[in-house]
Homo-oligomer: A and B are copies of this chain.
Amino acid sequence: MSAAPNPQQNHLLAALTNEVLERLLPHLELVDMPLGMVLYESGDTLRHVYFPTDSIVSLLYVMESGASAEISVVGNDGVIGVALFMGGESTTSRALVQSAGSAYRVLGKRFKEEFNRHGDMLQLMLRYSQALITQMAQTAVCNRHHSIDQQLCRWLLLSLDRLRDNKLAMTQELIANMLGVRREGVTEAAGKLHRQGVIDYSRGLITVLDRAKLESLSCECYAVVKRETDRLLP
Within the complex, what minimum Cβ distance (angstroms) separates A140 from chain B? 4
Is the beta-carbon distance between B126 and A69 smaller than 8 angstroms? Answer: no
Closest to A225 in B: B92
The complex places the Cα of A59 from the Cα of B137 at a distance, in Å, of 10
A180-B141 contact given A85-B126, A88-B127, A118-B118, CB 8 Å threshold = yes
Contacts of A71 in B (CB 8 A): 137, 140-141
Instruction: Tell me if B141 and A144 are in contact (CB < 8 A).
Output: no
What per-residue 1/0 map shows which CB atoms of A129-158 lie under 8 Å from chain B? 110111011111101110000000000000
A191 to nearest B CB, angstroms? 22
**Residue from the list B72, B92, B123, B129 in contact with A138, Cβ < 8 A:** B92
Give which listed residue, B64, B127, B132, B144, contacts A133 with CB less than 8 A.
B132
Given A86-B130, A92-B134, A126-B87 in contact, is the A145-B232 Cβ separation under 8 Å? no
Nearest CB in chain B: distance from A79 CB, A: 14
The range of chain A's interface size is: 35 or more
Contact, CB under 8 Å: A93 / B137:
yes
Provide the A56-95 mask, 1 if CB < 8 A to any CB of B, else 0: 0001010111011101100000000011011110011100
Known A93-B137, A140-B136: A145·B67 in contact at CB below 8 Å: yes
CA distance A123 to B122 in the complex (A): 12
C-alpha spacing A228/B122, complex, angstroms: 24
Which of A69, A118, A140 has the most C-beta atoms of chain B within 10 angstroms of its own C-beta? Answer: A140
Residue of B nearest to A221 (CB): B63
- Flag whether A224 is at the interface (Cβ < 8 A): yes
Does residue A41 face the partner (Cβ distance < 8 Å to B)?
no
